[in-house]
Structures are given as C-alpha cells and as structure tokens.
Chain A
Amino acid sequence: MASPTLRQSVTGLSDQALADLRKAITGMQALTDNRGFNYQAGIHGVNQHKCWHHNTLGDNGPTLTYPLFLPWHRAYLLQFEQAMQDIAPTSALAWWDWRTDDPNADQVPAAYSDAQDPDGNPNPLLKSHIDYPNARPKLNRDTRRFPGTGGGSLPTPGDVNQVLGISDFFTFSDQAEGLHDQVHGWTGGNGGDMAVVNVAAFDPIFWAHHTMIDRLWWQWQQQYGPATGITTEMLNAVLDPFPQKVSDVLYVEALGYSYAATTSEVPA
C-alpha cells in the first residue's frame, strides 16, 4: 500500500527532503508545457484567472452563497504536488509557518530566501521566471519579493488561534482568508508579486504559504469535523478547472497526503 505524502514545515525539512523539493521545482521551472511551473502558476491569475478568493455573498451582482476559497486551493495544491512528484517522486509540498509576535521579524525561511542551494546552484525557491508574452502588459521577467516593505505585520499565533476557534465553517473560511490576504500583502510588499492575485502564484513561496493555509483548514477539520457546516449545494460545487467537487477534497488522507509535525524513521 502506498504511503501518503507527508507535508512538513519548511524549517523542519531534512536536507534530503529540501533537496527533493528543490529538484521538483527546478524541473517544473524548466518545462514550458502544461506540466511546467508557468502553466500551473498561470491557473491562479495571469492568464487563466481561475482562482477562487473572496466569496461574493452579498446584495449586489452575481453571487455565490458559499465560500470556495479553501477547497479550490486544496485541489490546486494537490495538482501541483502531483506535478512535482512526476519529477521527484519523494518530494512534497511544505508549509511556511509565518506566525510571529514580532512585527519586525524576517519570517521568510532561508530555504526560500537563500540565493543558492548547498551545491551552489541558483535556489529555485527564491524566484521563478514568468513568461506570458500574450499578457497585456507582457510578462517576461523574474519574480520579485520585498517582504515587509509595505508596513503592517504578519498574523500572530493569537490571531491564528482565534480563527481556529471559530466553529462555523463559513465564518472560519472568511476569517482564514483574511489571514491569507494579510500574508500575501506582507510577503510581496511594494513591488513584489506575492502581493497581487494576478502573479502571486509565480513566486515559489506562494505554494508554501497556501500549504500553511490548507494545514489550518486541516487543523480546523480535526477539531470540528471534515464536512461540518458545508451545505449540500456547496458539496456539489465543481472546483474548476480541477476534476474534483468540494465533497472530493474534504478528507486529506483520501487524497493521499497528511500533515506531520515531525517525522523520524529508520530502516528495519
């Protein structure tokens, strides 16, 4: 029986696990077809614009009565991780724990800010090359990141605990998305791609940020139940362009992965 993929904290990765992650991302960045990093990143904003953010529940305009932010991004991560494993079978997404009580802390992990990997190669987690010549304006440049330059702060552990304590799924989803928005703005800063929907997913740290968000949902599900508060209409909602409906992404173990705080293994 195949073992589920264990997603771990970026700062807790073994040298081998980090090397696997870098190998997968490097490989994807080299591909220009639909297996590649540019294609996958382009699902979110430029140029496919498929992402689900802010629910549009309200009085005006076309509305949805349920929030797809969490399930849509879970399906997105799943597809991306499968593409990673096509290149490096033992690789896995890792989460960036951005929580801090120190507003001046440099929370970006070294794995994502170092210019080179231990072998002296360019670090594929620092930046990626965006190539969308059909975008208006054209996009053909490396990603950029200026964390903290817009002021503000990252969420504190208390902020996160407060959100995890919300028992109603719709409210939890809305408030978790607020934390997510906060981290996007802080990480990109003034001039950085993480700060805007259109190009955020081209920055490799996007995937570590969203793995953290997915883990928060998983933690919430452990406490309140996988499907608690999700309406029948929402369960049947399609997560375009992925092959799943909301009901298909509620149980992470059934999707082939789980979240580990720590791991330790030895051969028999």
Chain B
Amino acid sequence: MAQIPTPEPMVYTSKPLHLPTDPVELEYTRADLEFHGLDHSEWSFEGELFINNPKADAKTAKSLDNGYVGSFHVFGHGGCYGNEGHCEIPAQRRAFDRRRPHHLTPIVKTVIVTNGLKKLLPKGGDFTVTVVGIVRGGTEDCDPKSRFLQFEKIRLVTHR
C-alpha cells in the first residue's frame, strides 16, 4: 500500500471573467480557459473547474448543475534531485544563451469548455472560476505541505 502523506486539496476562486453578451460574440464555436504560469515542480494533480460555484470543493460532484466544466491534469516533476540551485529557474537569460528553457519553467494548460459554458452562461456575462486542486500522485520526495496549485493568471478565449 502507498503510505506517503499528500497535501490537502486546494481551492482557488478567480475574480470575475467576462463572456461577452453581444449575440454575435455568443456565437462562439470554441471557448478555452487557459491557465498561465502554472507550477509543475512537485506533485501531479488535477485541477477541477467549476463556474460560479465558489463553494466547490473536492467532494463536489462533477456535474453541470454544480458548474463543472472540465479539468486539467499536471504531470509534476516530483521535487528536486539535483545539487543546490538545480531547480531554480533563472530570472534572466543571457542574450546568446541558446539552451532550452529550464525544465521547471511554468507551463500553460488549456481546458476546452465550450459546451459547459454555453449551457451555463447562454446569455454571457461575468463569471468566476473555482479551481479545486487534488493531488493524484507523487513520491516521498515531494513536499507534503506543498502549495501545489500555483499559477499566474486565468484567461478566457473564445473562437468563432
């Protein structure tokens, strides 16, 4: 049996995002929720997304009635196995540094939420996104007190 302690679920609720109310703009064919600057340095986790449901938590059923529109999964690195500084992301790169980006450079995750958003917000308007982060896996070298759900911003993008 697995015996390692894991962090408790984390919940984050965004400030309101805006879906246009203009009928033409509501004819979008695809809507994405993008999570920029997402940390992936330790645990693997799932981020469950709920629209206009700031009370959502890890026990909330994944149903449209609860505002659930999908989730993203992060494949975490699992902590650091290097010497001091190995997992520190350089703040700046020299002009002629052609090496690839640091392996822990924050990532972008995109969740396609078209169907859920159309049903939950048929007339558009402001809405919040609650992200329920739940650890799905990791090893004993991950920090059990880690604040694993960290990102810089959420962006809504529609296409038509």
**A residues in contact (CB < 8 Å) with B:** 45-47, 49, 51, 53-64, 132, 135-137, 139, 146, 149-152, 171, 174-175, 178, 180-182, 184-200, 240
B123 within 8 A of A: no
The interface residues of chain A, by DSSP majority, are classed as loop
Once A54-B40, A191-B140, A193-B139 are accepted as A-B contacts, the answer to whether A185 and B75 lie under 8 Å apart by CB is: yes
* Contact, CB under 8 Å: A190 / B40: no
- Distance to closest chain B CB from A139 (angstroms): 7
Q: Is the CB of B136 within 8 A of A195?
A: yes
Q: How many A-B residue pairs have CB under 8 A?
A: 161
| Chain B residue at smallest Cβ distance from A175 | B112
The 9 closest A-B pairs by CB, nearest first: A196-B78, A195-B137, A185-B136, A54-B107, A191-B2, A185-B44, A150-B136, A181-B73, A146-B2
| Chain A neighbourhood of B75, CB < 8 A | 53-54, 180-181, 184-185, 196-197, 200
Q: Is B102 part of the binding interface, using a Cβ–Cβ cutoff of 8 Å?
A: yes
State whether A151 and B89 are in contact (beta carbons under 8 Å apart), knowing that A49-B103, A197-B78 are contacts in the complex.
no
Cβ of B82 within 8 Å of any chain A Cβ, yes or no, is yes
Q: Contact check, B76 vs A56: say whether CB atoms are below 8 A apart.
A: no
Check if B136 sits within 8 Å of A151, measured CB to CB: yes
Instruction: Give the interface SS of chain B, mostly helix, strand, loop or mixed.
Output: loop
Taking the nearest CB of chain B, how far is it from the CB of A106, in angstroms?
15
Q: How many B residues touch A, CB cutoff 8 Å?
A: 49
Contact, CB under 8 Å: A152 / B134: yes
What residue in chain A is nearest B89 (Cβ atoms)?
Answer: A61
- CB neighbours (8 Å) of A182 from chain B are 46, 73, 136
Q: Whole-angstrom distance between the alpha carbons of A253 and B74 in the complex? A: 32
Chain B 11-54 per-residue mask, 1 if CB under 8 angstroms from chain A, else 0: 00000000000000000000000001100101111100000000
* Alpha-carbon separation in the docked complex, A7 to B119 (Å): 42
A136 touches B82 (CB 8 A): yes
CA distance A197 to B75 in the complex (A): 7
B110 close to A (CB within 8 Å): yes
Q: Which B-chain residue is minimally distant from A52 (CB atoms)?
A: B100
Distance of A195 Cα from B2 Cα, bound (Å): 13
When distances are taken between beta carbons in the complex, the residues of chain A under 8 Å from B79 are: 196, 198
Query: Are A199 and B46 neighbours in the complex by a CB distance under 8 Å?
Result: no
Q: Which residue of A lies closest to B152 (CB)?
A: A60
Give chain B residues whose Cβ lies under 8 Å from the Cβ of A196.
Answer: 42-44, 75-79, 137-139, 142
**Which residues of the other chain, B, contact A152 by a CB distance below 8 angstroms?**
46, 134, 136
A64 CB to closest chain B CB (Å) equals 7
Query: B6, B43, B44, B108: which contacts A58 (Cβ < 8 A)?
Result: B108
In angstroms, Cα B136 to Cα A151, docked, is 6
A51, A56, A59, A190: residue with the most chain B Cβ atoms closer than 10 Å: A190
Instruction: State the Cβ distance, A200 to closest chain B Cβ, in Å.
Output: 8
With A64-B101, A190-B4 as given contacts, are A136 and B83 in contact (CB-CB < 8 Å)? yes
A151-B134, A182-B46, A188-B137 as given contacts; A45 in contact with B77, CB under 8 Å: yes
CB of A94 to closest CB in B, whole Å: 22
State whether A198 and B36 are in contact (beta carbons under 8 Å apart), knowing that A60-B152, A62-B93, A189-B137 are contacts in the complex: no
CB neighbours of B77 from chain A (8 A): 45, 196-198
Separation of A49 and B93 alpha carbons in the complex (Å): 19
Q: Is the CB of B136 within 8 A of A61?
A: no
Q: Are A55 and B137 in contact (CB under 8 A)?
A: no
List 10 A–B pairs whose Cβ atoms lie within 8 Å, in order of A's numbering.
Answer: A53-B75, A55-B108, A56-B106, A61-B89, A185-B137, A188-B137, A189-B2, A192-B139, A196-B78, A198-B81
Q: Does any Cβ of A come within 8 Å of B109's Cβ?
A: yes
User: In angstroms, how far is the closest chain A Cβ from the Cβ of B116?
Assistant: 13
CA distance A136 to B72 in the complex (A): 30
Does A56 contact B101, Cβ atoms closer than 8 Å?
A: yes
Residue ID in chain A nearest B83 by CB atoms: A136
Kindly state whether residue B105 has any CB partner on chain A within 8 Å.
yes
Bound-state Cα–Cα, A47 to B87, Å? 12
Q: Which residue of A lies closest to B48 (CB)?
A: A152
Contact: B3 with A191, CB < 8 Å?
yes
